[in-house]
Amino acid sequence: MIRLEIALELDYVIADPGCDFIFNIHAASTPRQLVVAESLTLSQPLLARVETEPVTRNRYLRLQAQAGPLKVAYRATVDLMHHFAPPGEVGEVPVARLPAEVLGYIYPSRYCQSDRLHRMAMREFGQRWQGYGRVQAIRDWVLERTTFTSNTSDSNTSAIDTLLDQVGVCRDFAHLMIALCRAINIPARFATGIDYGADPALGPTDFHAYVEAYVGDRWYIFDPSGTAIPMGFVRFGTGRDAADVAFATIFGTVNSSAPVIAIQAVAGADGHLQVPYHCTEAISTDG
C-alpha cells in the first residue's frame, strides 16, 4: 500500500462574468485507489458541484465563477493498493471476450486515429506474443522514436502528427501509444494525474498524461513518455483521449497562471512509508 498526499493550486483571472468551468482534478475513487481525505478551497463564494461519471468514475468539479481572480485549491490523501502481475502471465483479451464497456476503447478517437495505423502497427508488432509484452513493446517504440520537447505541440496535435514529427510532450506520447494499441485491437485509454517522480530538471511538478491498456482482464498502467514513476500515479480521469479529460475546460475568457502542484509519499495508516519505485511487474489500480 502506498499513501500519497497531493496538493494543487490553480489561479485564474476571469474577464467575463458567469464563466463556466469544468475541472477534473479530483482523485478518482476506486476499490484500489482510496481517497482517505480531501479538501477543496475556492477564493470566490461559489456553489461547486462535484459529480462522478458512473462508468469512468471521473469526478468533475463544475462551477460558474464571477469576473475577477479565482483560486482553486485541492488537497487529498490517497491510498493506492496496486494489483501486481508478472508480465509474462498477462495475455491479451480476444475481441470476443472484451466487456461491453471496454469495447469503445478499441475505436479511434479525435487524437488517436487508430484506423489509419492498422498496417503500420501490424508490420511493427503483428508477430509478437499477444500480451503485456506487446503493449510494452509499443510503449518502448513510441518512447524510442519520440523526443520529449516542450512547446512543439498544441491542442490540435494528434497521434499521426506525433508519429510524423517525432516530438511532443506526455499527452502526445500517450496519444501515439493509444492509437497503435487500438490499431491492433488492444483497448487503450488516456489517463491523467501528476508526474510523480519526474526529474526536477524538467521543471516543477506538473500534471501528467499516461496510458492504461486493457490486457489480462484489467487496465494496466503504462508511461510512454518515460518521465515519471507509474507506481506513484494517482488517477484523476480516464477517457478516449485528451478531448475527454482536460484538467480544466473553460467556457469564457480567462488568464491563467501555471498550476502549483505537489505530491509526496507519506506514511500510511500502519505507520509504514512505502515510496513508489520503478518496478518490472505489471501494475494496475483497476478494480
Nearer to a copy of itself, 89 or 217 (CB): 217
Question: For residues 143 and 228, which CB has a smaller minimum distance to a copy of itself in the complex?
Answer: 143
Q: Which residues bind a copy of itself (CB under 8 A)?
A: 20, 22, 51-55, 60, 62-64, 94-96, 100-101, 103-104, 107-110, 112-113, 115-117, 119-120, 123, 145, 147, 155-156, 160, 163-167, 185, 239-240, 243-244, 251
CA atoms within 13 A on the CB side of 159: 28
CB 100, min distance to a copy of itself, A: 4
Cα separations (Å) of 139 from 78, 91, 125, 161, 177? 27, 16, 11, 17, 6
Nearer to a copy of itself by Cβ, of 179 and 198: the residue is 179
3-state helix, strand, coil in the chain (%, to 5): 25, 35, 40
State which residue, 22 or 40, has the beta carbon closest to a copy of itself: 22
Question: From CA 224, how far away is CA 145, in angstroms rounded?
Answer: 11
Q: Give which of 80, 78, 174 is closest to 135, Cα–Cα.
A: 174
Q: Which is nearer to a copy of itself, 117 or 174 (CB)?
A: 117
Nearer to a copy of itself, 117 or 282 (CB): 117
- Min CB(34)–a copy of itself separation in Å: 22
Helix (H, G, I), strand (E, B) or coil at 169: coil
Residue 116 CB, shortest distance to a copy of itself, in Å, is: 5
DSSP string over 49-77? EEEE-TTT--EEEEEEEPSEEEEEEEEEE
Cβ of residue 4: shortest distance to a copy of itself, in angstroms?
Answer: 26
**Shortest separation between residue 128's beta carbon and a copy of itself, angstroms:** 18
Beta-bridge mates of residue 41: 73
**Interhelix angle 170-183/132-145, nearest 10 degrees:** 140
> Residue for cell digits 501515439?
176
Cell triple for residue 205? 511538478
Q: Report the nearest approach of a copy of itself to the CB of residue 27 (Å).
A: 17
Q: Using the minimum distance from each CB to a copy of itself, give the nearer residue, 108 or 131.
A: 108
CB of 167 to a copy of itself, least distance (A): 7
